[in-house]
């Protein structure tokens, strides 16, 4: 039976390793985590609703 090829690292496209899957290295995993922390990645969705209503104009 043919062994499946490792999927490419989502950061640098090198083959991933079992130890750091789906990344090729700890460095690429850290780069990806940093992108989530800085909100470079985002999950699409509707804009959040405001909790506080807009203040009424008091005249």
Model's pTM, two decimal places?
A: 0.64
Q: Express each pLDDT in 3-35 by its tens digit.
A: 777 789 999 999 999 999 999 999 999 999 999
Note whether 20 and 26 are within 8 A (CB).
yes
pLDDT (average), residues 33-40: 94
The string of pLDDT tens digits covering residues 44-59 is 888 878 776 666 655 5
User: 23-27 — which CB contacts under 8 Å span 24+ positions?
Assistant: none
Query: Bigger pLDDT: 2 or 40?
Result: 40
- Give the pLDDT confidence score for residue 10 in this predicted structure: 96
């Amino acid at each position: 039976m043919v062994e499946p090829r490792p999927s490419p690292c989502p950061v640098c496209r090198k083959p991933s390793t079992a130890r750091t899957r789906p990344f090729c290295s700890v460095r690429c995993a850290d780069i990806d985590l940093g992108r989530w922390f800085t909100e470079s990645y985002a999950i699409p969705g509707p804009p959040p609703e405001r909790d506080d209503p807009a203040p009424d104009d008091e005249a």
